Structure 1
């Protein structure tokens, strides 16, 4: 099982890919809690050049609440990260964490169904792009 799933978009500006990704996530009940601009951060902290790379911290509150009810330390694995990454030839890759893979580290069967539902919603958002 892979720890992420992805989709590559061609001929789309990076900023537009971010906007479309945020909207696709919103359509599946996710809000964005954080946006981490890796390119800018690495330039500022290490003075290195890096392609456009944004990490979106996505949260679906009802599912986060359910997960917290059955595993109070699950917050260490929240929110669900989704990346928007500029790759070669003007293409942009959108990739999301597979919650099933990350939940395997936790020995709590009650999380399995929640993780499956979140995975399905994330996959639907990514595939809709």
Structure 2
């Protein structure tokens, strides 16, 4: 099972992908509570930071968008209702990532 929903954007720079990601998430009912510049935090704290729910990173060939799959992260919890909601959220995130 994949634990993330990923897409490589090759035709835009980081700032454009950031703007498109925020717009796509908003269009599908998600909000961006905060943004963290991992490079700046790593330099300031001298530690690696764990991943967030949606991550943008420059990679060879473009900008990768990676969203944590809520259904995968909730699979260890024995609660069918939670699994159903997490599945719905996964579907919405998948659509949002596809729309970027």
Task: Say whether the fold is shared (TM-score over 0.5).
Answer: yes
How many aligned residue pairs are there? 98
Q: Classify the secondary structure of the residue corresponding to 1:33.
A: coil
Instruction: Name stretches of at least 5 consecutive residues in structure 2 with no aligned partner.
Output: none
Q: Classify the secondary structure of the residue corresponding to 1:44.
A: helix
Between Structure 1 and Structure 2, the one with more strand by share is 1
Instruction: Name stretches of at least 5 consecutive residues in structure 1 with no aligned partner.
Output: 49-53, 56-80
Shift in Å, 1:11? 3.2
Query: Which residue of structure 2 aligns with residue 86 of structure 1?
Result: 58
Query: Which residue of structure 2 aligns with residue 33 of structure 1?
Result: 33
Shift in Å, 1:19? 0.8
- 1:52-102 CA-to-partner distances (Å, cap 9, x unmatched) read xx95xxxxxxxxxxxxxxxxxxxxxxxxx011111114x000011111111
Pick from 55, 76, 80 the counterpart of residue 109 of structure 1: 80
What is the Cα-based RMSD across aligned positions, in Å? Answer: 1.9
Shift in Å, 1:47? 8.6
The runs of at least 4 consecutive aligned structure 1 residues that moved more than 2 Å come to none
Larger radius of gyration, structure 1 or 2?
1
